[in-house]
Amino acid sequence: MPIREFAESLFRGEDLDPRSFTAGRAQLGARYHKLMQQGREAGYCSEVTVSFTHESASALIVLSGRIDGLLDTDDGCIIEEVKTTYRDAGDIAAPRDAHIAQAKCYAAAYASQEGLDDITVRVTYVSIPSEEVKTFTFDYASDELIAWLTAALDAYAAKLEAQRRRSDDARASVRDMQFPYRGKRQGQRLLMKAAYDAALDGKLLLANAPTGIGKTMAALFPTLKAWGEGASEKVFYFTARNTVRQAAVAAVEYCIRAGARLRAVVLTAKEKLCPYSCSVPCTPEDCAYARGFYTRQAKAVAQLPRAGVIGEERISALSERYTICPHEFMFTVAELADCVIGDYNYAFDPRAAIKRFFDEGGEYSLLIDEAHNLVDRARGMFSEVLEEQSLVNLMKALGPKQDKPYKRTASAVRQVMSHCRRLRKRLEAEDADVMELKELDGDMVKKLNALCGRLESLLELGMSAELGDSFKDAYFPLRYFTALYEELDDTYAIISELKGRRLKLSLNCLDPSKRLAQAHSKVKSAVFFSATLLPFEYYSRLLGADDARTLDIANAFPAENFGLFVSPVDTTYKGRQGSLSALCASLCELIAQRKGNYLAYFPSYAYMRAAHELLKERDFDIVMQEQDMEESARGEFLKRFSEDNERATLGLAVMGGIFGEGIDLTGEKLIGVAVVGVGLPQLCLQRDLIRKYHDERGEDGFAFAYRIPGFNRVLQAAGRLIRTPLDRGVAVLYDSRFLSPDYLRLFPSHWSHAAKVSSDRVHEALREFWDSSG
C-alpha cells in the first residue's frame, strides 16, 4: 500500500474538507518540490524510495513510497515532506494530521531500514503565490516512531480482517448460490460461459446479445461466481440510464434471495443525496455534514447490513441519523461492498471517476451494460467547453470585492477575456459561427493556467463560496480544460464557436479509444454487452478493446413472429416535405391492418411534429413525445400503451431519445414499429471532424461518424418490438437507403428476411403477415 494513501486514510483529522494543500496539477507541485530541493544542504537527496513490512496476526502489510527529501549525515538524519499551498505560509499554524503522519511513516520506515536511534521529521509548506516557505520540525526516537507505525498497522490490519471475514462469508455463499431462475433461456447460457471465462482469465469481452435472453443476469451471475472463486476484488456494474440500473439492482436482489450473502451499493448523484441540494459549500465551516464527518462515520458503518442492496434511501437515512455527508459516505460504503452499481462516469469520466478505485486501478471485474452508448458518452467525458459567459458572470461577482485575492483573480479573468475577444473578432472577420483551431495562442494558454491557479487559491483560502455559482461555473470547466490541453494530441479538435455574442471554446475528443484503453488496463476484466453491439470492428476499435474476445448470439425468438418490411420513402432532409403525405398515409395503413398500439420513430422533433399535424385528426389515438419531458410525463406517455385500449394508439417519438431504447412494452402493449429514416446524427462540424479524422487513418469516416451511430438508433427503435418469445409484431423501415449494400451489411442476422414493399403496397404485406400469424 502506498504510504501516502495509508496516511490519508487513517489520519484524516475530524472534518471532511475538499480544500487541499496540494496543487491540483502534479506538474505545478513538482516545480515547487524542485525549488525546495535546489536550495537544500549538500548531501540532500530527493525522491528516495523506502518501504516497511509488518506482519500482524491476520495480514502481511507492505508500505512503500518515495521521500520528498532526505539528509542523512553524521549529525543526524532529516526526513522532509514538502506540500504546496495557495495560502500565505505565515497563516499555517500547524501541519495537517495526514501530512505529519505521512512524514512519520517515511521516517519510521527509513529508521527501521538503516537501524537509526533517532530521526528528525520536517514538514515544509511552500506558498505558490509568494514562494514563501514555512517549516515544522519534530524530533523522534526511532523506537517510538516504529512502535507508533506498528500500532497503526495493527489497527488497520484488524479492520481489514473484519472486512475479510465478511467478504469470505459472502464469497462462500456465492460459490454455493444456484441460478435464481427456473431455467436458462436460449442464448443465455452462451453469454454466461463467456462472461465467466472473461472474469477468470482477466480478459475483455464484447457480447452482442439479443433482447429477451436475460442479458443482465447472464452477465452478472457468472461474474459473481468468478468473484466467489477469488477472480477479483470487487464487481462493478455500469449502465447509461436509471431504468437499466434498476434492472441490475433487481438481478442482485434475485441473487441474494438465491442465497448470496452479498453487500451491494447503488451509486447516486451528489445532487440527489445532498441535504442542501449542493447549495452550501462542502466545508466544515459551512456544512454540518462535513464537520466531524470522520468522528461519526464509523457509527454509521457499524449499522450497515452484512448483506443486501444499499441504495439512496438507506444511505440518506444513516447520513441523517449521524449527520455525515451522504455522498462521501456512499463511497465509503462502496469500499466495503462486494458489488457496486452505477453510471459509466464513475469509472471513465476523469471529473467523476471514483479515485480510490480507478486512479490506480485494482483486481476489478467490470460489467458495462448497453455498451453501444459508451462511445459517444466517452467522447463527452473526455471533452470540455469553456464559455465566455461564465467569465462575464464571474467578473460581475468579483466586481465589488476588495480583498487582494479577489482583485488578483479579477485581473486574471480580464486577461483571459481579452483573448476571448480576439477569437470573437477572428470569427466575425471570417463571417463564421464556428471554426476549428489548430492550436491556442501560447499566451492564452498561459493566462488560462494563471486564472486556474487564482481560482484554486480562492478555493483553498475558503473565499470561493462568496462568489456563489459563478465560481463553480468558471472553475471546474477551466480546471479540466487546462488539464486536457496539457495532454492534447491528434485525437482532439479545438473548436471556437459564437453563441449569441459570446465565445465558446471546446476541446472535442474525436476518438475515445486511447483513454478507454487506459481505463481498461487498470482493471482485471471487462464485459461490454448490448443488443446492438455490431459491427464488432467498429466497437472494439472505439472502445479501446482491439484485443477483446467477441460473442454474437443469435436471436432467440421465432422468426415468424417478426414481420420486417422496407418501404423506399424519401426521408432525406430535402425530400421529407414531398413525401410526408405518402408517409403518413402508409402509417395509417400500418395501423388499419390490426387494432393495437404502435410507435413511430422520427429523426427529429420538427419532422415528427409535421407528421403529427397530418395524423392528429385520424380515427386512432395519438400521443407525442415532447422535449425535456419530466419523469412523470414519461410515465404518462408509456401508460397510453395498454393492452386494454379500446382504440388503436400511435405514439410518435424521436430516435435516440428517451423512448428509443430501454423501454419494455411486451405482448399486446406494442404490436408495430415504424422507423422513419436511417437515424443519421445531425450534420455538424464536430461530426465532420470525426469523419475527417478516420478518413485520414484509412478508415470509413462517414460510417464511423454518421452511418453506424445512426443505424444503431434504428436497431434500438426496432428492438422495442419483440421482447419475449410470445410477442408478435411488425416493423416498417421507411427509407430507400436501407436497401443499399452499405446498410444491408449492417443488418443483424435475424433481419435477413426483410422484404421490400412500396409505400402503396404496405397494407397488403401487413395483411399477409397478420393472416399468416393468426
Query: To 5 degrees, how large is the angle CA 611–CA 612–CA 614?
Result: 70
Helix (H) or strand (E) holding 411: helix 404-429
Query: To 5 degrees, how large is the angle CA 352–CA 358–CA 359?
Result: 90
DSSP sequence for 669-694:
G--EEEEES--PPPP-HHHHHHHHHH
Q: Are strands 729-734 and 672-676 parallel, antiparallel or unpaired?
A: parallel
Q: What is the 3-state secondary structure (H, E, C) of 476-534?
A: HHHHHHHHHHHCCCCCEEEEEEEECCEEEEEEEECCCHHHHHHHHCCCCEEEEEECCCC
Distance CA 52, CA 624 (A): 66
Q: Please classify residue 465 by burial: count the beta carbons closer than 10 Å to its beta carbon, then call 0-12 exposed, 13-18 middle and 19+ buried.
A: middle
Please give the C-alpha separations between residue 649 and each of 290, 603, 629, in angstroms, as whole numbers.
Answer: 52, 20, 20
Please give the C-alpha separations between residue 579 and each of 383, 583, 735, in angstroms, as whole numbers.
Answer: 39, 6, 11
Coil, helix or strand at residue 603: coil
Distance CA 281, CA 298 (A): 23
- Assess contact for 720 and 663: CB atoms under 8 A: yes
Rg (CA), the chain: 30
Of the CA atoms within 13 Å of residue 194, those in its CB half-sphere come to: 25
Q: Please classify residue 238 by burial: count the beta carbons closer than 10 Å to its beta carbon, then call 0-12 exposed, 13-18 middle and 19+ buried.
A: buried
Closest listed residue to residue 293, CA positions, set 330, 266, 338, 265: 330
Classify 603 in phi/psi space as left (phi over 0), alpha (psi -120 to 50) or beta. Answer: alpha
Distance CA 167, CA 234 (A): 10
CA dihedral of residues 126, 132, 134, 135 (deg, nearest 10): 70
Q: Are strands 492-499 and 434-437 parallel, antiparallel or unpaired?
A: antiparallel
Cell of 65: 513510497
| pLDDT digits 0-9 by tens, 626-668 | 999 998 999 999 999 999 999 999 999 999 999 999 898 999 9
- Amino acid making up residue 517: A
- Assess contact for 710 and 678: CB atoms under 8 A: yes
Of the CA atoms within 13 Å of residue 435, those in its CB half-sphere come to: 17
Distance CA 125, CA 87 (A): 9
Distance CA 306, CA 590 (A): 54
Please give the C-alpha separations between residue 504 and each of 195, 280, 387, 394, in angstroms, as whole numbers.
Answer: 43, 28, 5, 16
Distance CA 151, CA 158 (A): 11
Of the CA atoms within 13 Å of residue 195, those in its CB half-sphere come to: 32
Contacts of 526 (CB under 8 A, 6+ apart): 198, 204, 205, 365, 366, 367, 368, 520, 545
CA dihedral of residues 138, 139, 144, 147 (deg, nearest 10): 40
Work out whether the CA dihedral 253, 254, 259, 264 comes out positive or negative: negative
Distance CA 540, CA 155 (A): 45
The pLDDT, as a whole number, for residue 87 is 76
Q: Are strands 76-85 and 118-127 parallel, antiparallel or unpaired?
A: parallel
Distance CA 7, CA 9 (A): 5
- Amino acid making up residue 34: K
Provide the CA 631 distance to its chain's centre, in angstroms: 22
Q: Are strands 263-266 and 308-310 parallel, antiparallel or unpaired?
A: parallel
Please indicate, yes or no, whether the overall pTM of this predicted structure exceeds 0.85: yes
Cell of 192: 454466461
Distance CA 175, CA 259 (A): 10
- Assess contact for 581 and 614: CB atoms under 8 A: yes
Closest listed residue to residue 215, CA positions, set 180, 234, 187: 187
Closest listed residue to residue 468, CA positions, set 325, 324, 278, 327: 278
| pLDDT digits 0-9 by tens, 56-74 | 888 899 999 999 999 998 8
Contacts of 478 (CB under 8 A, 6+ apart): 386, 448, 451, 452, 455
- Assess contact for 402 and 410: CB atoms under 8 A: no
Residue located via cell numbers 443519421? 680
Please give the C-alpha separations between residue 483 and each of 18, 444, 487, 565, 656, in angstroms, as whole numbers.
Answer: 19, 14, 7, 50, 31
* Residues with pLDDT less than 50, the chain: 22-28
Is the peptide bond between 512 and the residue preceding it cis, with omega within 30 degrees of 0? no
Distance CA 14, CA 681 (A): 51
